[in-house]
Amino acid sequence: MHIEVDGRPATAEQVVSTDGHFTAMQVRGGGVQGLSHHLARLDAAHREIFGQGLDGDRVRRLVRHALAGRADASVRVVLRDPDHVAVQVADPRRPPTLPQRLRSVPYLRPFAHLKHLGGFAQAQWARQVGREGYDDALLVGPDGAVAESTIANVGLLGPAGEVTWPAAPHLRGTGLALIEETTPSRTAAVHVDDLGRFAGAFLVNSIGIVAVASVDGVDLPDATRPVEEIRRRVAALPWQVP
């Protein structure tokens, strides 16, 4: 992994803090899908956390500098204080190839609308359910309301391929925003007991889109075909050069 802060190699002191916010994106062929969504979310979070805006053109310049001409990569833009921009560049990531098996857990991320750095609890839930044979945890409120997975939004499919996003506190991901550009969508309260009445479910984040096979060991309707249709429509959206 290569890390720069303000265009210069990072020091340990500059990357040790777990305070702040970030966005994660995939670069392919030198471009990013939904780059404008990433920049808008960074600016909104920066205003809420630090009380000042974030220059999107500056972020783009620093991402280009850190990539150094690399065409395919995983990139994180991290803001640990109001003034300094860290860019992490690593190998590209691919979404899982098999439908995911989830286990519901009683947890909602604090300040869930922010993509903040305080991620221990969700990471620990992912590790715990992984040891039990599941692929990820499904975060639910005390009343069983579905929110999100540990690192992705959850979409529920209707009979005509329309998408329902759970209304419980969650991060509005850039992948979610791209699907909304291509697929009829709505937000509504969804509880774990409601999942079986949908035509299927999927997870989406900046890495990609993958169907959900089951929740708590209960099989859900096969979402492979409608998820592939959503994936195809999203793939046709333009890629923006940082």
In the chain, residues under CATH classification 3.20.10.10 are 100-235
Q: Give 95: exposed, middle or buried? Use CB within 10 Å, 0-12, 13-18, 19+.
A: middle
Strand 185-188 to 163-166 pairing = parallel
Is residue 79 very low, low, confident or very high in pLDDT (cuts 50, 70, 90)?
very high
Segment 10-32 mean pLDDT: 95
Q: With cut-offs at 50, 70 and 90, classify the pLDDT of residue 61.
A: very high
Q: Does domain 100-235 have CATH number 3.20.10.10?
A: yes
Q: Residue 118: its pLDDT value, please?
A: 87
Is domain 2-90 classified as CATH 3.30.470.10? yes
Strand segments (E) across the chain: 2-5, 8-9, 21-28, 31-33, 73-79, 86-90, 100-106, 136-140, 146-149, 153-157, 163-166, 185-188, 201-205, 208-215, 218-219, 239-240
Q: What mean pLDDT do residues 201-219 have?
A: 98
Name 183's Cβ contacts closer than 8 Å, sequence gap at least 6: 161, 162, 163, 230, 233
Please state whether the predicted TM-score (pTM) of the whole model is above 0.85. yes
